[in-house]
């Protein structure tokens, strides 16, 4: 395996959680408490953006990314990937994963410069940016985003690989929740 595919796994700096359709925490893996304490705020920020029409409505197979510390993020290297879960046509839950990425740009490697004077100098700021739409990775858009600005991401291949790993984790969570809803019914599960 390349270093691009093992960054988050080796450091074990990630968390996964399940939220109901209102953004309330339902279940979480026992990983990093600081992630879990604020991840729900990221889901609530997504719901607010959807309600005010700032984003296209979500569909099955979608995933968005956020790290905005003003909307539930912790620090910029912690990227949260949020995937909706649908029971028929109805949004019934969210699966989310948050992982600490090695670099998200900024004026210094590691994306946490003590002498920054703006958040842009700390790295890539994301606020509910679509990563996957209808099951298709928006790779060209993301590669452009990662190389843009005065302080681009230094290793976009690694960041993209780690984001895809988060999408895969979310996909497995969505898949298992759908199986549970199929066997037990939507109402008892959600």
**Tell me: the pLDDT tens digits for 103-159?**
999 999 876 788 999 999 999 999 999 999 999 999 999 999 999 989 999 999 999
Mean pLDDT is lowest, of 97-101, 126-130, 169-173, 185-189, for: 185-189
- Percent of the chain at pLDDT > 70 equals 89
* Residues 125 and 67 sit within 8 Å (Cβ to Cβ): yes
SS3 content of the chain, % helix, strand, coil (to 5): 40, 25, 35
Nearest CA among 29, 15, 145, 147 for reference residue 82: 15
Sign of the dihedral defined by the CA atoms of residues 178, 184, 187, 189, in that order? negative
Q: How far, in Å, CA of 113 to CA of 122, rounded?
A: 6
Read off the pLDDT band of 185 (50, 70, 90).
Answer: confident
């Amino acid at each position: 395996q390349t270093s691009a595919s093992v960054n988050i796994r080796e450091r074990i700096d990630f968390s996964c959680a399940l939220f109901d359709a209102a953004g309330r925490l339902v279940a979480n893996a026992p990983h990093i408490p600081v992630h879990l304490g604020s991840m729900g705020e990221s889901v609530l920020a997504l719901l607010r953006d959807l309600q005010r029409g700032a984003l296209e409505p979500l569909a099955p197979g979608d995933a968005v990314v956020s790290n905005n510390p003003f909307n539930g993020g912790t620090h910029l290297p912690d990227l949260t990937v949020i995937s909706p879960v649908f029971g028929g046509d109805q949004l019934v839950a969210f699966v989310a994963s948050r992982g600490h990425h090695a670099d998200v740009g900024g004026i210094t490697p590691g994306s946490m410069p003590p002498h920054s004077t703006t958040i842009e100098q700390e790295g890539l700021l994301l606020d509910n940016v679509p990563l996957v739409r209808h099951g298709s990775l928006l790779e060209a858009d993301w590669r452009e985003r990662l190389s843009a600005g005065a302080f681009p991401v230094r290793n976009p291949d690694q960041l993209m690989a780690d984001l895809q790993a988060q999408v895969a984790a979310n996909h497995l969570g969505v898949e298992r929740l759908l199986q549970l809803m199929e066997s037990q019914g939507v109402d008892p599960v959600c």
